[in-house]
Structure 1
Amino acid sequence: MEFCDECGSMMKTDGDVWVCGSCGYEKARDADKEADMTSTAEREDSEVVDMSDVDDAEIGPTTTVICPECGHDRARYEMKQIRSADESETRFFTCVECGHKWREDDH
């Protein structure tokens, strides 16, 4: 990934130059520098992981929270950053009883 020296926007490749989509600034591509970059297109597809034999206690932390689907009072949770970095993380819950999934700001 390359960023514009003029405006800081992300640049895209166009042949042998990087071009800024915001201000139009161009700069030559550097093959040595690009060799160190990682492309998401180069990653191998991940395989499906079979979790059927994994004990619930090994999956993640649990907390006391009421499931809106079945009323059970325990759920696994995980935190994810889904907004910009200056926003707080969102907590996602999965009921240990019925498997219902919801997020903290849904109710």
Structure 2
Amino acid sequence: MQFCDECGSMMKSMGSKMVCTNDDCQHTVAKDEEKAAEFVSTEEQGDSAVIETSEDANFEGKPTAKDVTCEECGHGEAWYTIKQTGAADEPPTRFFKCQECGHRWREYS
């Protein structure tokens, strides 16, 4: 990963140049081919990789867990979603929303 010397934002590869991702900066530098071999390019993160953590995130319609107990109200059912938040060799994280009171919590496997 390379960072812009002007503003500190990440830079992305565009042909023979590295371009700052900050729309206000757009600083460019020539690629250093020796360093370029050390970098790994990845695809942009899509919406499917975003973890639903905002208060208004819609969990309704997601799978239901009946083996959990809400710490807030004691209800025994919650909607959940599973996301890989760590490295690929680590277990995923389950995010819950109580069907009764709406309390949210996470569980690490």
- TM-score, scaled relative to structure 1: 0.50
Alignment of 1:4-83 (within 5 A): 13=18, 15-18=29-32, 25-26=34-35, 56=60, 59-64=61-66, 65-83=68-86
Residues 73 and 39 of structure 1: CA distance in aligned 2, closer, same or farther (over 3 Å) = closer
Secondary structure, counterpart of 1:103 in structure 2: strand
Count of residues in correspondence between the two structures: 69
> Which structure shows the higher helix fraction?
1
User: How much does 1:26 deviate?
Assistant: 3.6
Measured in 1, the distance between the counterparts of 2:63 and 2:43 equals: 32
User: How much does 1:16 deviate?
Assistant: 2.2
User: How much does 1:15 deviate?
Assistant: 1.3
Identity %: 42
Give the partner amino acid of 1:60: K
Secondary structure, counterpart of 1:104 in structure 2: strand
Residues 18 and 93 of structure 1: CA distance in aligned 2, closer, same or farther (over 3 Å) = farther
What is the root-mean-square deviation in Å for CA atoms of aligned residues?
3.5
Give the partner amino acid of 2:29: G
**Greater gyration radius:** 1
- TM-score, scaled relative to structure 2: 0.50
Alignment of 1:95-106 (within 5 A): 95-105=98-108
Name segments (4+ residues, structure 1) moved above 6 Å.
Answer: none
Secondary structure, counterpart of 1:72 in structure 2: coil
Measured in 2, the distance between the counterparts of 1:103 and 1:38 equals: 27
